[in-house]
Amino acid sequence: MAIAGYMLGARIIEKHFTLNRAMKGTDHAFSLEPAGMTKMIRDLRRLKLALGDGKKIMFSSEKVPITKMGKSLVAKRNLPQGHIISDDDIAMKSPGGGLPPHEWDNLLGMQLTQPMFEDEAFDLAKLAERKSA
């Protein structure tokens, strides 16, 4: 419970302490012995480090796996020059490195300035804004 309380913002923790949980009395059975108290304090101190500062930093060792396992938006089939992109024209496939999936809606309604082949990654250089009629 101390860890959950700390996660929710508590900074003062009350915990019963005993030298031997087998001693007579009502509190000893649920109190922490010295080793248990040491571990609880260790865990609370580690928790601050484990929570971090909320900033994601990509390590160089992560770049290759993230690209390999990531997803890019690709043409679902061959598309001719001048084609207006719709949901039916887009697929998500590995590897990453191209337009990310969160750009899906931004592709809709754009017009191809060059033909695209099936599984080719979308590139903004091949797209133009749709001209209103």
Supply the pLDDT for residue 45: 87
State whether 70 and 26 are in the same domain. Answer: no
Number of domains observed in the structure of the chain = 2
Q: Token digits for 109?
A: 């309604």
User: Which segments in the chain show pLDDT lower than 70?
Assistant: 130-133
CA–CA distance, 11 with 80 (Å, rounded to integer): 63
Omega before residue 95 within 30° of 0, cis:
yes
Residue 74: which H helix or E strand, with range?
A: strand 72-75
State whether 74 and 123 are in the same domain. Answer: yes
State whether 85 and 117 are in the same domain. Answer: yes
State whether 10 and 33 are in the same domain. Answer: yes
| Block residue for tokens 């033909």 | 115
**Tell me, what CATH number does 69's domain have?**
3.90.1210.10
State whether 95 and 123 are in the same domain. Answer: yes
Supply the range of the domain harboring residue 33: 2-51
State whether 46 and 69 are in the same domain. Answer: no
State whether 108 and 81 are in the same domain. Answer: yes
CA–CA distance, 36 with 32 (Å, rounded to integer): 5
State whether 71 and 47 are in the same domain. Answer: no
Supply the pLDDT for residue 3: 80
State whether 72 and 103 are in the same domain. Answer: yes
Q: Is the pTM of the predicted complex or chain greater than 0.85? A: no
Supply the pLDDT for residue 67: 86
